[in-house]
Structure 1
Amino acid sequence: MTASTPLTIDVISDVMCPWCYIGKRRLESALKSVPDVMVEVRWHPFQLDDTLPAEGKDRSQYLSDKFGGRERAQAVYSQISQAGKQEGIPFAFDRIQTSPNTLDSHRLILWSKADGLQNEVVERLFKAYFIDGEDLTQPGTLVQIAEDAGMEADLVEQLLETDSDLEKTKKQIGQAHEMGVTGVPFFIIDGRFAVAGAEKPETIAAAIMHAEATKAGEQA
């Protein structure tokens, strides 16, 4: 592998998926452990629940429909909270009032790619939802995230009022399903190796090193 050719890591995720937030942290830890490998991380859309209306659903109702109520949900989320703490994520699930349809969030991530700000936008979306309890269905929330990340907020505000890239985003989600992706996060390293789920940093790092070594071998 030449120094000018970064290893690509395609991350398929959904911003309402807590394990995707954990997976992002573990990927970052993995990358720190392999500093000599040049990597380009690219984010791709997925929807855990594409039946949610555009305005989202009341969180209590969502939890009732999915888990049979908050008590059963809390048992699930307590495990996620513990995993989050280990990665420095202070999940605040009780602050979430609306379970969002994430199509607009994914459009924002798509638009941020042109500015090289995908990672920043993804991070801010996760924080807004899981820590601050913000409503990701509100255009104002997404515009503020875009502005804070360094994007052109006025342009984002205008685009959100249209269907720009909506079908493209849906198509990309469909492509993930066609690839056999049924759960996220899902990491595709160098277009050749897949890591499914929020695996430990050392597992992701090992896959990265293997991809780097085998690609170098191919070019030798």
Structure 2
Amino acid sequence: MPVVIEMVSDLVCPWCWLGKRRIETAIAMVPDVEVELLFRPYELDPSIPAGGVDYKEYMRKAFSSPEAKERSGAMRQALIDYGEAEDIPYRFDEITWRPNSLDAHRLVHWAQGQKKGAAAKEALFRAFFHDGRDIGDHGVLVDIARQIDLDPTIVADLLSTDADVVTVRAEEKYFREVGITGVPTYIANRQFAAQGAETPEKLARFIRHAAEHPPAESA
């Protein structure tokens, strides 16, 4: 029985890109354990309007005090340093727009159905944190779909509707109701959880612990 790891994350969360790379490294560190990695949606700020908002203005409001600005600067530098070690090219200065991430989560949902969830996550993280693209824009999402070999016409048609909005919202609601308040969070077999972009070594131990304590079979 594989260990099912559900990574709950947001596509506008820089720690989540780091967390994705680290969980993938952790999985490679336990080759004797079969792991199925699934990506689940979480919006850090679902109040963002559908069209998004100016990024710099949003960040000014979010980190308005001198102390908060200092923390934000330190966090960015830490991410840049961690990113260099993980070959993640953060370019925060390129970001000009803070999108609503719902439609990006819909794209991941569709990609995951085609076994391309990891490719979609990686492409979306890179588009936002390296290229400074608006991943709430349907044209950008269709272009990313094309990059990962999803049918861009089908994706464009789906994005023009409310397809799977209810499904994605329901998943988000579930994870909030079970107590997740920060991402990335990893859930193994719906039994064990680890939160934060932990080191690959710690995540590998987390995976092995889950493998050694499988869910009880239903009677």
**CA distance, structure 1, for counterparts of residue 189 and residue 173 of structure 2:** 21
2-side partners of 1:159 and 1:56: how far apart? 20
Contact 2:185 2:193 in 1 (8 A): yes
Aligned to 1:187: 186
Alpha-carbon distance in 2 for matches of 1:172, 1:216: 21
Q: How does 1:54-203 map to 2 (within 5 A)?
A: 54-68=50-64, 72=70, 73-203=72-202
| Matched residue, 1:31 | 27
TM-score, structure 2 as length reference: 0.93
Q: Retained in 1: the 8 A contact 2:19–2:184?
A: yes
1:209-220 map, 5 Å: 209-215=208-214
Distance in 1 (alpha carbons) for counterparts of 2:99 and 2:84: 24
Distance 1:217 1:190 in 2: 11
Letter of the 1:66 counterpart: A
Give the drift of 1:6: 2.0
**Deviation of the 1:75 alpha carbon:** 3.3
CA contact (8 A) 2:19 2:196 kept: yes
Contact 2:191 2:215 in 1 (8 A): no
SS in 1 for 2:154: helix
Taking the aligned partners of 1:207 and 1:130, their CA distance within structure 2 comes to: 28
Q: Report the AA paired with residue 26 of structure 2.
A: A
3-state secondary structure, aligned to 2:7: strand
Gaps of 5+ in 1: none
Give the alignment's TM-score, normalised by structure 1: 0.92
Q: Give the CA deviation at 1:86.
A: 2.0
Whole-Å separation in 2 of the counterparts to 1:190 and 1:209: 12
Give, in whole Å, the separation in 2 of the partners of 1:186 and 1:209.
17
- 1:159: Cα distance to partner? 0.6
Mapped contact 2:5–2:188 kept (Cα < 8 A): yes
Distance 2:16 2:210 in 1: 22
Identity over aligned pairs, percent: 39
Please report the RMSD computed on the Cα atoms of aligned residues, expressed in angstroms.
1.9
- CA displacement 1:65-104 (0-9 Å, x = unmatched): 1112895433331122122222211100000010110000
1:135-193: CA deviation from partner (whole Å, max 9, x where unpaired): 11111110111111111110000010111111221121111110100000000112211
Comparing 78-87 and 145-154, the one that deviates more: 78-87
Q: Could you tell me how far apart the structure 1 residues matched to 2:123 and 2:116 are?
A: 11
Q: Distance in 1 between matches of 2:113 and 2:215?
A: 29
